[in-house]
Amino acid sequence: MFTDARCEPVAYLDPWCASYEERLRALGRRSRHVAYVYERPESSSFRYRVFNMIEALEAAPALGISASWFTQKDLRGDLAFVDRADAIIICRTRYDHDLARLVAKARARGTRLIFDIDDLVFDPEYVHVVTHTLDMTQPSDDEWNYWFGYVSRIGAAMRCCDSVITTTAPLAERVRDYAPDRSVTVLPNFLNRRQCELSQRLLGRKREGGYRREEPTMVGYFSGSPTHNRDLLVASPGLAQILKRHLDVALRVVGYIQLNDLLEPFRHRIQVMGMQDFVNLQRTIAEVEVNIVPLQNNVFTNCKSELKYFEAGAVGVPTVASPTAPLAGVITHGVNGFLSRTHEWEGRIAEALDMLQRDPTVYEGMADRAAEDSLSRFGWNRQARRIEAAVFGPG
């Protein structure tokens, strides 16, 4: 565990608390106006696909774009923001009467409508894959009704729009299959300003201390929700062997995950932490030596973004990941991380640990490359022109 990355929990309050009036004024501050619509503010898709986008645009005044966010609750009002918007981006929002009202008013004004989606949850053809991946082995009628309803309504909202923005190339292909007459642009997830600032401070402390460590050596799994139980199971046979053979290694699990039968015997060496806000998550990642991102191999997981790689990379922690197309696209095996097929997890984690023990300078080089790549490619201050091109077209 890295000792110089330790710090007290960071004070955190959700940064999305502006009133409707404040958000409406923010929309009109510059010459071009982009309105984001999302069901309700939260720390998952809203943060990545709405809050982070607005923050990046706000920091680039030369582009002349002001952006603001609105919710389903706001759609029940007078829709004054539609009159001010040059483009409206509907992000992962289910179709309903209020959304139909918004679409009709935007169409009447000739306002461009864009749909933003970050998961394969718009085509009912894949509902069975989604439920299986999320560890619903025998969904009830209510669960089937929820998922088919949810996915179908997301798809209906997508088809109300002129074009689509999404997070990865594989997901863009699925969008083209579902809505072949819509243009699709890939705009990756990225870190926001506060994440980057804290990550750079923690990374600097680790570098200044020469990546100083103490036992135990910590492998980290930062999953979030119980829906990742099956993903953790992918790496669990290898993890169990690592814990059995390396008594100085421990596992840190962050989120509401359930330890499976393979890991349960090692519970005394598994640190389970609750859900973290997006700032303190960086603090909990920075302390571990190796980050793991095991994923099942199916069409749903191959559409997932690179965020688990760059959240760890930003604080100088190399990742061992399943070779989904997005992760294989950013991780060069042995250079800035490791890729592991299902049967390789023990060997790949052991390779990372051996490198750490045998030649720490090689590990530090990999950590530095992961940090440089994550902060340069997925930093909040590198995205504004990409957002502009996705919304208004290349210019």
Cα 341 to Cα 333: distance, rounded to the nearest angstrom:
12
Determine the pLDDT at residue 224: 74
> Which pLDDT score, from 0 to 100, does residue 219 have?
98
Domains of the chain: 11-190+381-392 (3.40.50), 193-378 (3.40.50.2000)
Instruction: Report the b/e string of 226-243 with b at 16+ CB within 10 A.
Output: ebbbbbbbbbbbbbbbbb
Q: Classify the C-alpha dihedral 130-342-232-11 as positive or negative.
A: negative
Rg of the chain over Cα atoms, rounded to whole angstroms, equals 22
The mean pLDDT value for 73-102 works out to 97
Question: What pLDDT is stored for residue 44 in this prediction?
Answer: 93
% the chain with pLDDT above 70: 100
At 95 the pLDDT is 98
Mean pLDDT over residues 19-41, rounded? 98
Helix (H) or strand (E) holding 184: strand 183-186
**At 394, is the pLDDT very low, low, confident or very high (cuts 50, 70, 90)?**
confident
Mean pLDDT on 81-106: 98
- Here the tokens at position 114 are 């864009």
Question: Would you state the pLDDT for residue 334?
Answer: 96
273-301 confidence digits (pLDDT tens)? 999 999 999 999 999 999 999 999 999 99
Q: What is the pLDDT of residues 33-51, one digit of tens each?
A: 999 999 999 999 999 999 9
Q: What is the pTM of this model?
A: 0.96
User: Residue 157, exposed/middle/buried by CB under 10 A (0-12, 13-18, 19+)?
Assistant: buried
Confidence of residue 395 (pLDDT cuts 50, 70, 90): low
123/225: higher pLDDT:
123
pLDDT, mean of residues 290-317 = 98
pLDDT of 214 above 90: yes
Residue 258: pLDDT above 90? no
| Per-residue pLDDT tens digits for 147-200 | 999 999 999 999 999 999 999 999 999 999 999 999 999 999 999 999 999 999
